[in-house]
Amino acid sequence: MRDDELTALVSAFLYFFFALASWFVLRPMRDTVAAAIGSVALSVLWIGTLGTMLVANAIFSAVVVRFPPRKFIPYAYHAITVSLVLFYFAFRKFGAVEGSNSDLMMEKAFYVWTSVFNLFVTSLFWCFMADTFRSEQAKRLFGFIGVGGTLGSIAGSAATASLAKVLGSANLLLVSCVLLQIAVLVVMRFPRTDATAGAAGPSEATKALGGSVWDGLTHIVKSPYLTGVAAFLALFTIGSSFLYFEQSAIVGAVYADRASRTEVLAQIELAVQVATVLAQVFLTGRLIRWFGLGAALAFLPVVSMIGFGAIAAAPTFAAVAAFVVLRRAGNFAFTNPAMEILFTVVPREDKYKAKAFIETFVYRGGDQLGAWAFAGLTTLGLGLTAIAWIAVPMSAVWMALAVWLARRQAAMAAVSERTAPT
């Protein structure tokens, strides 16, 4: 870290802490719905999530071309906060009786909406970071910034694990709102210096992006690099969907009531975040510095080949839980920071439009493909073992793509550094 990066680094750390703390207060509540309704109903909800995500992307694209990031990011977070307050009143009015028709309807609506907005919360953060820091800075600083998000995740998960039975689920929504608004304050006060101007320069950072609302999609189609990034994320989400359905089915069978499911899922999430922060502090920066971006991108595909192979050999709750912790910790500690570095070398417009589309709609599209694939394979009579074996070669393709993207990023970063103004 250089002296002129300190204020921006601390601000980014705090921004990520409060943004993810806000989401992880709610994540166990959302996953409780999945464990309660079963895989068939869950796949239907994912279709609704994908459609809602498409509408949300259209609205986001219309806003992002008209306002500079420091304005439209707070607007987006304010809109999310308003939606959570509405859910709070709806749960208080219609969700008093657990298992009633009105309660189930509210839970399903809550699942769909939170599955949409949680991606926008994190995607907007990393869009801002990719626009703020250059590729060279990102490789040095994103690991530390990621620790802020991990600590926020731990705080949010721990709050839900300890307060779910005391406050009740509805009141946790208000806790999430407060945390998200603190993140908004950090964005609004984010430092404006040469060290935080990224590739755009200080004057460009205050301008609206302009262009068309369709630029995100069209630029992805035209760019092999962005298409590769989208494919990389899609393969990740398909594998995650397989694992998510298995987890939901087992948790739903083992734990009977909502509070117990929320508690155990929060405990798993807490284990994920503790493992993540240890890896981020001691391993993330060293892995990228010593072995390169390719090693960070390829880490999770390799773990997935091993993990799905282990599940094929022993499809138990213990095996699934261990794989969930390792995979999610590896994603937060290595894959996620590495993917964000990929976007530091693309044009500024693509850092918001194309990146947001990939990390929201493509992400949920991969979820849906994974859901359809899992349901189709189950319909054909395949069990957890057979589905896990199918995921092994898919993870091998994912690893090959990781190596190619790392090489392309290095070449594009070299060109960017040569042409950057001095």
pLDDT tens-digit map of 234-293? 999 999 988 887 777 777 677 766 667 767 777 887 788 788 878 877 877 778 778 888
Determine contact, residues 168/32, Cβ cutoff 8 Å.
no
Quote the pLDDT of residue 208. Answer: 59
Q: Structure pTM?
A: 0.75
Q: What is the mean pLDDT of residues 112-131?
A: 85
C-alpha to C-alpha distance for 256 and 35, rounded to whole angstroms: 10
C-alpha to C-alpha distance for 221 and 234, rounded to whole angstroms: 15
Determine contact, residues 261/255, Cβ cutoff 8 Å.
yes
Task: Provide Rg for the chain, Cα atoms.
Answer: 21
Whether residue 197 is predicted with pLDDT greater than 60 in this model: the reply is: no
Quote the pLDDT of residue 422. Answer: 47
Q: What is the mean pLDDT of residues 359-383?
A: 85
Quote the pLDDT of residue 143. Answer: 81
Quote the pLDDT of residue 417. Answer: 67
C-alpha to C-alpha distance for 215 and 233, rounded to whole angstroms: 19
C-alpha to C-alpha distance for 62 and 353, rounded to whole angstroms: 10
Whether residue 374 is predicted with pLDDT greater than 50 in this model: the reply is: yes
Determine contact, residues 371/157, Cβ cutoff 8 Å.
no
Sequence-ordered list of residues with C-beta below 8 angstroms from that of 84, at least 6 positions apart, any chain: 26, 173, 174, 176, 177, 180
For 41, other C-beta atoms within 10 Å of its C-beta total 13
* Mean pLDDT taken over the chain: 82
Q: What is the mean pLDDT of residues 363-375?
A: 85
C-alpha to C-alpha distance for 262 and 255, rounded to whole angstroms: 9
Between 6-64 and 258-279, two packed helices, what is the crossing angle to 10 degrees?
130
**Paired tokens of 131:** 């626009």
